[in-house]
Each structure stands twice: as structure tokens, then as C-alpha cells.
Amino acid sequence: MANDNTGPTMNGGKGMEQLRNHSYEQLTIENVQDGRVLVLYTGGTIGMVRNEDGVLVPKANAFVENLRKYPHMHDKKYADERFGSTGLLVLPMTAIDKKRVVYNVIEYSPLCDSSNMMMEDWIRIANDIKQSYEHYDGFVVLHGTDTLSYTASALSFMLESLGKIVILTGSQVPIFDTRSDGLENFLSSLVIAANYNIPEVCIYFGTNLMRGNRTIKVSATAFEAFDSPNFPPLAKANTKIEVDYRITYRSCTLEKFHVHSKLNSNVGLLRIFPSITRDLVKAFLQPPIEGVVLQSYGAGNIPANRKDIIREFCEASKRGVILVNITQCTSGCVSRTYEPEKQLEEAGVIAGFDMTPEAALTKLAYVLSKKEWDTETKRQIMQSNIRGELTGGRSPYLQDLDFVEAVARSLGISSSSELLELGTILFPAMLNAAVIAGDMMKLQSLKGYGAYVSQTNADGRTALHIACCEGDLSIVRCLLRMGANVHIKDRFGRTPLIDAVEYDHHDVIKLLLQSGAHLDGSAHLIGQKMCAAASIGNTKRLSSYHYANANLNQKEFSGRTPLHFAALHNKVQTIKFLLDHGVKTDCKDKLGQTPLDLAEAISCKEAVLLLSRLEPAVNSTTPATAMKTIR
């Protein structure tokens, strides 16, 4: 996050690290699961307040202060009892909720009107998400509505190999006004971000969760201000939140989440209109312009008799300018149905299919910033579906559930809701059976029938959870390439990585980390598990945690580290393993005892010998030298 006065400031609490280390002591008693959400409040109408003249204005630090006063936005009693002075915000819990929604708000300074948003602001938001990515289940960006679709589209390309949900929302009326759409938009965004594994950049507005790069603003006044004209909503939030997982876009690359923090600003939108002049087109296409989104009539048409304009497009294309043709219409796409579109193609103009202007422009800025791609590759990428931004080939509406339909007919099921429910029962069971059998062909076939590879069973477990328990590296790799989500937690709060760790499948752990997985939850609870392994000399389990990037110096609730427990139980091989991996020997527990103190107290001679040889080196040298001595 930014370190200067223009950066975001934390208003919701002291940060997730404190939450991880100090606020989960009651978790094992209450059996409460948390959905953790980071809110980036960038500005916009949603957080504005009225001044003495009744005019809406942004006011620094007012947003969170007001949130704390609203009982439907913050359960103060629960938050004070559980989290104390961390300042975390917590939504009240209802009888049907499975998780407590715990959220932090980072307020940008200064707050930015969305009409003032620039590419630098998109980069700042992306980097803030990157910095906090491993500590939260989802992210909500509060943003003004005017350029909301531009920001959502840009982030969808910049956040590469995204495995968690990012929701942008705002409002037409401030959240603290009497009649406001902001309350519903913000509350629903928090609940969805905390509970649903939709690894996309989305926009939530007016009961619909939409793919961000498919969305446009359609009204300056209506509460239903945004629409996704060429793609159905990912979810609808009415009395129940219904998610269509079949159409969610999933990264199928075996790489960690990362941010592409460069964009090319030499791009523009050129809208064709009657009597547009050659001079205007020529001037628009001059350097430093490198890419242009051309908004043509209907299905991709321009005046067929304007050879002068077509020549300018041809000349620009020869100079390396990338020209992308999209329709001016709200819905539909460009096609090769008419002669003018074919003339554009011959002039080097490529089809943008059904991309929105916002998606086409931001994708062009993203693609042109990729220095490792040549011009032809960039042209191909602009015509390819890389984040669900355009429809190419297969329709987004899956019509091939003939297997489920056949079972439904045999059971006398006919309604669409019952058909969907049947799929959620059959597919997880069949996916899991294929995993256990090690049958990759069956997994691919089930996906072809419309199975959502990360569909959960009754215990919230996915096929990837099962595969990580089984330890079949080829099946795990197959599922990841099919888009399996590494961040899904089952009803016990376990991710696939935890399953791989607790079954000691080291190659699987490495592959999951390569694909973006990370240890999640209370650091103290992880420390407790490592200490339990150390106490019985389970060095293999400690190795598993080490491969998963756990801190082998992590303390459990009494302040003891794995080395304390290994010393206390005289587990010599475990002590050697921990010392070989550079753990600290001078950590003290809550009673002020070091591992050597414990070993001496119970006369563990071998442990005392190992630790005492290193103790003088640790105490008589600088920290850097001490760590070198231990290694």
C-alpha cells in the first residue's frame, strides 16, 4: 500500500496479521467460521454525507464512524467480546448464516470521485489487493458509478490467475440517506465476498452479481444502474443468493495470483458517426496512439463508400496500431455478415466480438503493455477470450446436461430448479468417485456434461480436497488445469492445501503453492498443530508445514514454539530438523522459558546437549551471525 499522504489509510482495524495471531482464541470454543473481507473505500456517492447546505460531499474518516453506529452493519457487542481493540467490523449473524462476516475498511486519502479515476488509480487498487491477498477470503471495492465498469474491466485483466472474488459496488444514493440503494449493494457484496468462491472481478448492483468486464452503466438515476447485456448474471441475490457456477470464469493456469501493474495509456475510443471526416480519423490515429477501439454501426459496419477512412485504417494498421472493431449497440456483436465489415478486416481491423467499450479499451491497454508479446500475438490475444470478456465458440448457456436430464426424467423431475439441484447432488459424487479411481478421462467427460469442477458436497468438500487427501499428483494437476479453486474451505475450515499437509503429500503441496494456494486461518492454530507434531517427533509433518511456507517459529497459545515441544519430549531428530531449518533457540514462552530451559527442567540430556551447544552462539553474537551459526 502507498506510504505517502495519497495512499489508503486503515480505518476498520489494525490489520489482518493481528487478527490471525491474537483474535482466534475463542474459535475452538465457539466453533465459528469467519468470512474475512477487505473493503477498499476509494470514494463515490456511497460514502458521501450532506453538508450544512444539503450538498453531497466526501468527508474523510466519516464512513467507518457511521458504519459503527448502524447495528445492521456492525455487531458491536460481539466484535468487542471477540476481537477487543482490533477495531474490526462484524456483520450481525442470522439463523441461516454459516459464517460471520468480518471486515476491514481501508479508506483512500484523498477520496476520489470516479470521474477523476485514472489508470494510476486502477494500479493502486490492484496493488492493495495484492498486498492483502493471502489474509482475506474476498475483496469489496467501493467506487463511484461513473467509471465503475472501466475499473472493473481493468482489474479483471490486471489481476492475473485470480483465485478469490473481487466485487466492485457503489450506489446512486449515499448509504446513510433514508432511501438508499447503497445499503443493499454493500451488505450483499460483503456477504457474497465472504461466502462464495467466484474467482472473478465482479460488479454488484441491484440484486445482480455481474462479471465486471461484461458490465455497462445504463442509467444515471435508476437503482438498477448497471446491466450485463451479452452475458447472464453470475448470481442473483433475492431471499436466497443463487449462484450459477457453470458460467463462472476460472483460471486454468498452474501459477500463483499476481498483478500486472503496467498499462499502456496510448489507447482511445473512436465512434463512427455520419459524415465523420478523413482528417478527424487521420489525426486520431497519429502517434503516440498505439491502439484504438472502433465503435461501428450495428454488426460492425461503417459507410461502404468511405474508401478514404478505410485507407487511414489500413495505413495505421501497417504502422502497428491495433484497431479493434466493436458495435455501438448495447447488445449484440460484430460479425462478418455485411460487406463493410469485411472491408475493415482486409484493412487490418480485428473483431472485438461482443466486448463492451470499457472491456475493449482496458484490455487493449493491458495487452499493449505486454512487452514480451509481438504485434501479431497481441492481435490474437485481443480476439481471444482471456477473462470471460467476450463470447467465442461455445455459448455461455450450457445445454448439454443430457445426463442429468436423463436421470431427472427417470425420477419424474421436470422443473428447472429441481434439475439444477439434482446436478449439485450427482456431479460432486461422480467427480469424487473419478478422483478416487484416478480416472482423468472421466473427470474430463463430467466437465463436458456441465459439471462444475469445484462443486461442493454436503460437507463443503470439493474433488480437489479428495485428490489432495489421496495424494495423486496427476489427478491434482488435472483438476487444477480444469479450473479447480484452491481456496475453497469445507465446513471444517479446511482447504485442499491443509488436506495435503495433513496427509504429508509433499509434491502435491508444492503444486498447490505453484497454483496460488496458501495456508489460511489463525497463525496460533497452525502453531498448535506444528507443536503437536513436534511433541511426538513427527518430523515429516513439520516438513509438510515447512513446504507449505509455515513459520516454524510460530507460537501456539502458551507462547511455545515447535522447538519447545521437541525439547520437552526429547525428540532429538525433530530438534535437529528444526535447528537445520534455522529456528530461533531463544524464544520464550509465557512463563519466560526457552526450549533449553524445558529440556534442563526434565533432564532430557540429548536435547540439552543439542541446544546448549548452540545457545552460547545465539547469545554471544549478533542476530545475523546467530542465525548463520544455527544453519
Enzyme catalytic residues: 45
**How far is the CA of 186 from the CAs of 168, 431, 504, 588, in angstroms?**
9, 35, 41, 44
- 354 — phi, psi (to 5°)? -110, 25
3-state secondary structure of 506: helix
3-state secondary structure of 496: helix
For residue 110, say if its preceding peptide bond is cis, omega within 30 degrees of 0: yes
Give residues with Cβ within 8 angstroms of 252, minimum separation 6.
480, 481, 482, 483
3-state secondary structure of 434: helix
**Closest-CA residue to 387 (of 546, 253, 534):** 253
Give residues with Cβ within 8 angstroms of 545, minimum separation 6.
501, 526, 529, 530, 533, 552
Give the DSSP H or E segment for 259: strand 258-259
Q: Residue by residue, what is the 3-state secondary structure of 160-206?
A: ECCCCEEEEECCCCCCCCCCCCHHHHHHHHHHHHHHCCCCCEEEEEC
For residue 288, say if its preceding peptide bond is cis, omega within 30 degrees of 0: yes
- Say how far apart CA 271 and CA 277 lie, in whole Å: 12
Locate cell 489525426: which residue?
283
